[in-house]
Structure 1
Amino acid sequence: MNDFTHRIAQAKKVIEGAEYILLGGGAGLSAAAGIEYGGERFRRNFAPFIERYGLTDMYTSGFYPFRTQEERWAYWAKHISLNRYEVGTTELYLSLKQLVQGKKHFVITTNVDSQFEKAGFPPDKIFEVQGNYGYLQCAKGYHDRVYGNEGLVKEMINKTVDCKIPTELVPKCPVCGENMDPHLRINQYFVQDEKWYRLNEAYNKFLQESDGKRIVYLELGVGFNTPAIMRYPFERLTYHNINATLVRFNKDNPEGFVENKDKTIAFSENMHEVVSAIIS
Structure 2
Amino acid sequence: MAEEIRQEIQKSAQEADLVLVGIGTEFSKKNARKEEIMEAYRKLADLLKGKNYFLLTVNTDDLIFESAIDSERIVAPCGSDKTGNVVTNDDYDESWYMPQWEKYTKWLQGTVNKKVCVLELGVGFEYPTVIRFAFEKIVYFNQKCHMYRIHEKFAQLTPEIKDRTTAVKENAVKLLLEDGADVR
Moved segments of 4+, more than 2 Å:
3-13, 269-277
- Aligned Cα RMSD in Å? 2.3
Secondary structure of the 1:189 match is coil
Read off the aligned partner of 2:13 and give its amino acid letter: I
Q: Report the equivalent of 1:271.
A: 172
CA contact (8 A) 1:11 1:265 kept: no
Q: What is the rounded CA distance, in whole Å, between the counterparts of 2:20 and 2:80 in structure 1?
A: 20
Q: What is the rounded CA distance, in whole Å, between the counterparts of 1:265 and 1:123 in structure 2?
A: 27
Q: What is the rounded CA distance, in whole Å, between the counterparts of 1:249 and 1:118 in structure 2?
A: 23
Read off the aligned partner of 1:11 and give its amino acid letter: I
Alignment partner of 1:257 out of 153, 158, 163: 158
1:20 aligns with 2:14: no
Secondary structure of the 2:134 match is helix
Equivalence map 1:1-280=2 (5 Å):
7-30=5-28, 35-36=29-30, 90-135=38-83, 182-193=84-95, 195-276=96-177
Q: Following TM superposition, by how much is the alpha carbon of 1:131 offset from its aligned partner in structure 2, in angstroms?
A: 0.6
CA contact (8 A) 1:97 1:120 kept: yes
- Relative to 1, partners in 2 of residues 1:12 and 1:123: Cα closer, same or farther, differing over 3 Å? closer
Deviation per residue, 1:198-240 (Å, 9 max, x gap): 0110110111012221111111111112111110010110011
- Relative to 1, partners in 2 of residues 1:222 and 1:188: Cα closer, same or farther, differing over 3 Å? same
Deviation per residue, 1:59-117 (Å, 9 max, x gap): xxxxxxxxxxxxxxxxxxxxxxxxxxxx5671111111111111001111111122222
Matched residue count: 177
- Relative to 1, partners in 2 of residues 1:122 and 1:249: Cα closer, same or farther, differing over 3 Å? same
Q: Report the equivalent of 2:182.
A: none
TM-score (ref. length: structure 2): 0.86
Read off the aligned partner of 1:117 and give its amino acid letter: F
Q: Report the equivalent of 2:181.
A: none
Secondary structure of the 1:134 match is coil
Q: Following TM superposition, by how much is the alpha carbon of 1:189 offset from its aligned partner in structure 2, in angstroms?
A: 2.3
Q: What is the rounded CA distance, in whole Å, between the counterparts of 2:5 and 2:124 in structure 1?
A: 21
Q: What is the rounded CA distance, in whole Å, between the counterparts of 1:114 and 1:214 in structure 2?
A: 30
Read off the aligned partner of 1:208 and give its amino acid letter: Q
Unpaired runs of 5+ residues, structure 1, are: 42-86, 136-181
Read off the aligned partner of 2:158 and give its amino acid letter: F
Percent identity between the aligned chains? 27
Q: What is the rounded CA distance, in whole Å, between the counterparts of 2:60 and 2:160 in structure 1?
A: 32
Deviation per residue, 1:221-264 (Å, 9 max, x gap): 11112111110010110011111011111100101111111111
Report which of the two structures shows the higher radius of gyration computed on alpha carbons: 1
CA contact (8 A) 1:90 1:119 kept: yes
Read off the aligned partner of 2:55 and give its amino acid letter: V
Read off the aligned partner of 2:11 and give its amino acid letter: K
Q: What is the rounded CA distance, in whole Å, between the counterparts of 2:17 and 2:119 in structure 1?
A: 13
Read off the aligned partner of 1:253 and give its amino acid letter: F
Q: What is the rounded CA distance, in whole Å, between the counterparts of 1:208 and 1:23 in structure 2?
A: 15
User: Whose helix proportion is higher, 1 or 2?
Assistant: 1
Q: Following TM superposition, by how much is the alpha carbon of 1:132 offset from its aligned partner in structure 2, in angstroms?
A: 0.5
Read off the aligned partner of 1:226 and give its amino acid letter: Y
CA contact (8 A) 1:254 1:266 kept: yes
Secondary structure of the 1:108 match is strand
Unpaired runs of 5+ residues, structure 2, are: 179-184
